[in-house]
């Protein structure tokens, strides 16, 4: 104990510590230096009290620790992650990466002033929707369009504008919860819309909607079940039949498509998903979908449909609270413009590129990657090529797997958990999955220009000493 007290006296003051040349020359905000030094001294004090006085000189140990802490503090909290999970749309990883052209548009609009709400022809006040509504109508065949901050906001706004105080009829099979606590009944309640459930979990028929219609019915609502599927003995009512029923009773029909695709994905071996165009053609009054799911753009909630309904939505006070910002709008306009040419969309939009990556090219990349990685990790890891499916994720095509190839790493001196922890906390963070005690690296979601860094990060994570 006496020894500890003696050692405690050797702890440097923060002021003297910051004057040490190794720290004085580090360029960092003073407040961060003080914070890092304080933490390092506190930690050292704890170690001493536990009888673990550092052997190499107390001040030296604290300096090294302070520099380490400063490095961590100086890193931005929100930063790039290499997604080696193979899941294309990972809400925790920020969903869709943007196209190069979308990034450039954001950059241009961000660094200067813009005509966000100015009509350059007339010099009068314009509207931010004007930058995407023509494009959205052209792509979907809709009469009018609006856009807000995200699809949850789009659903809330549309429900509120169209059916506040009224009943909306929804199939029990569609009352879903989507990741991040978007629950359809809760959103309806927030919008002041009364939920009228019809049908059963697995089957809902047109007659169920018909018998539920009454004087208070304000909306027939259809919701894409996104992240789950009921399989087997199921039935739901096609959009066109709901539209016919709505017309008969003068009740609007709304559909929340969730992911929302602008063209048919079946040529790429994916299952049939309703496209926005089909919904519009079926006569649905309002359709909502996300900007950052399969569309491959920035976070946004897109709303298309009949002019009367879109006008009501645009003019609702809630629209102002949910409005899209100019950077998102710039990225969205450019992303949507890629869709004017399907081939361009497939080439330019990263999510579609990954979705459309051939099994052969993924296999070739995996083999090349294996060869390069193996040279670096012969002593610390075995590397195998395996068949692995990727998920689309993000509430899109929930049960669809994209067949392909991946690498399976078996670390020799670490557990798989230790390796994935190190990969996450590396200078360039990497997120990978563990499967059957192996760390899986799926290159479908890794950009080719990230491969060199990925190899370096895996190699150095395997080599680091155990602590
Ligand atoms: C994802 C999803 C939402 C929420 O969209 P965000 O863009 O995440 O706000 C709403 N409805 C459905 C059906 C979805 O799949």
Neighbouring-strand partners of residue 147: 302
Closest of 172, 159, 164, 250 to residue 213, by C-alpha: 250
Residue 29 has pLDDT above 60, yes or no: yes
How close are the terminal C-alpha atoms of the chain, in Å?
27
Give 116 Cα–ligand 1 centroid separation in angstroms.
Answer: 26
Residue 15 has pLDDT above 80, yes or no: yes
Question: Could you tell which of 258, 296, 324, 393 is best to mutate to test the pocket of ligand 1, judged by most ligand atoms within 8 Å of the CB?
Answer: 258
Range name among 39-53, 171-185, 262-276, 339-353 with the lowest pLDDT average? 171-185
Which residues of the chain does CATH 3.40.640.10 include?
Answer: 99-348
Which residues of the chain does CATH 3.90.1150.180 include?
Answer: 81-92+354-463
Residue 179 has pLDDT above 70, yes or no: no
Calculate mean pLDDT across residues 195-210: 90
Calculate mean pLDDT across residues 311-318: 97
Residue 228: what pLDDT? 61
What is the spatial distance between Cα 18 and Cα 386, in angstroms, rounded to a whole number? 52
Summarised one tens digit per residue, pLDDT across range 365-405 is 999 999 999 999 999 999 999 999 888 886 666 667 889 99
Coil, strand or helix at 410:
strand
The mean of the pLDDT values for the chain is 93
Cβ–ligand 1 distance for 290 under 6 Å, the answer yes
Cβ–ligand 1 distance for 258 under 6 Å, the answer yes
Coil, strand or helix at 220:
strand
Point out the ligand 1 atom lying closest to the alpha carbon of residue 395: 15
What is the spatial distance between Cα 167 and Cα 186, in angstroms, rounded to a whole number? 14
CATH number for domain 81-92+354-463, candidates 3.40.50.300, 3.90.1150.180, 3.90.700.10, 1.10.150.130? 3.90.1150.180
Sign for the CA dihedral angle at 180, 186, 192, 195 comes to positive
What is the spatial distance between Cα 219 and Cα 253, in angstroms, rounded to a whole number? 6
Cβ–ligand 1 distance for 95 under 6 Å, the answer no
**pLDDT-based confidence at residue 465 (cuts at 50, 70, 90):** low
Calculate mean pLDDT across residues 3-21: 91
- Return the residue whose CA atom lies nearest to atom 5 of ligand 1: 151
pTM score of the predicted model = 0.92
- Return the residue whose CA atom lies nearest to atom 7 of ligand 1: 151
The tokens for 68 are 């380490």
Give the burial string for 389-401 (b: 16+ CB within 10 Å, else e): ebbbbbbbbbebe
Residue 226 has pLDDT above 80, yes or no: no
Give 293 Cα–ligand 1 centroid separation in angstroms.
Answer: 9
Q: H or E stretch including 279?
A: helix 276-281
Give 352 Cα–ligand 1 centroid separation in angstroms.
Answer: 19
| CATH code for the structural domain at 99-348 | 3.40.640.10
Give 178 Cα–ligand 1 centroid separation in angstroms.
Answer: 7
| Percent of the chain's residues with pLDDT above 70 | 95
- Asked if 330 and 132 touch (Cβ cutoff 8 Å), the reply is no
């Amino acid at each position: 104990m006496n020894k500890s007290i003696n050692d405690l006296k050797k702890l440097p003051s923060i002021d003297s510590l910051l004057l040490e040349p190794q720290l004085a020359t580090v360029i960092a905000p003073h407040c961060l230096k003080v914070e890092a030094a304080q933490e390092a001294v506190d930690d050292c004090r704890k170690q001493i009290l536990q009888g673990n006085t550092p052997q190499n000189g107390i001040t030296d140990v604290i300096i090294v620790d302070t520099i380490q802490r400063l490095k961590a503090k100086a890193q931005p909290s929100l930063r790039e992650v290499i997604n080696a999970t193979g899941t294309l749309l990972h809400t925790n990883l920020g969903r869709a990466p943007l196209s190069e052209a979308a990034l450039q548009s954001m950059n241009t609009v961000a660094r200067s002033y813009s005509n966000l709400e100015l009509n350059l022809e007339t010099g009068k006040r314009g509207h931010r929707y004007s930058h995407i509504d023509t494009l959205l109508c052209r792509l979907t065949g809709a009469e009018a369009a609006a856009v807000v901050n995200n699809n949850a906001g789009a659903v809330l706004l549309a429900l509120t504008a169209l059916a506040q105080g009224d009943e909306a009829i929804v199939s029990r099979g569609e009352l879903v919860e989507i990741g991040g606590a978007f629950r359809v009944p809760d959103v309806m309640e927030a919008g002041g819309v009364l939920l009228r459930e019809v049908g059963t979990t697995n089957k809902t028929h047109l007659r169920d909607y018909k018998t539920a219609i009454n004087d208070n019915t304000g909306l027939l609502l259809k919701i894409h079940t996104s992240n789950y599927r009921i399989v087997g003995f199921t039935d739901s009512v096609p959009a066109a039949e709901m539209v016919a029923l709505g017309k008969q009773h003068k009740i609007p029909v709304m559909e929340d498509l969730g992911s929302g695709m602008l063209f048919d994905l079946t040529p790429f071996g994916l299952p049939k998903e309703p496209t926005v165009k089909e919904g519009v053609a079926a006569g649905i009054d309002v359709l909502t979908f996300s900007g950052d799911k399969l569309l491959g753009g920035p976070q946004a909630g897109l709303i298309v449909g009949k002019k009367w309904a879109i006008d009501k939505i645009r003019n609702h006070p809630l629209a102002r609270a949910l409005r899209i910002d100019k950077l998102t709008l710039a990225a969205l306009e450019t992303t949507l413009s890629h869709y004017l040419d399907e081939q361009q969309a497939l080439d330019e939009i990263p999510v579609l590129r990954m979705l459309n990556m051939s099994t052969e090219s993924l296999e070739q990349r995996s083999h090349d990657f294996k060869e390069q990685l193996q040279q670096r990790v012969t002593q610390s890891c075995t590397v195998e090529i395996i068949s692995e499916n990727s998920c689309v994720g993000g509430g899109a095509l929930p049960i669809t797997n994209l067949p392909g190839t991946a690498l399976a790493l078996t670390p020799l001196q670490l557990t798989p958990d230790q390796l994935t922890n190190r990969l996450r906390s590396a200078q360039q963070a990497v997120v990978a999955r563990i499967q059957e005690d192996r760390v899986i690296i799926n290159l479908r979601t890794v950009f080719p220009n990230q491969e060199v860094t990925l190899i370096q990060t895996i190699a150095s994570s395997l080599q680091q000493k155990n602590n």
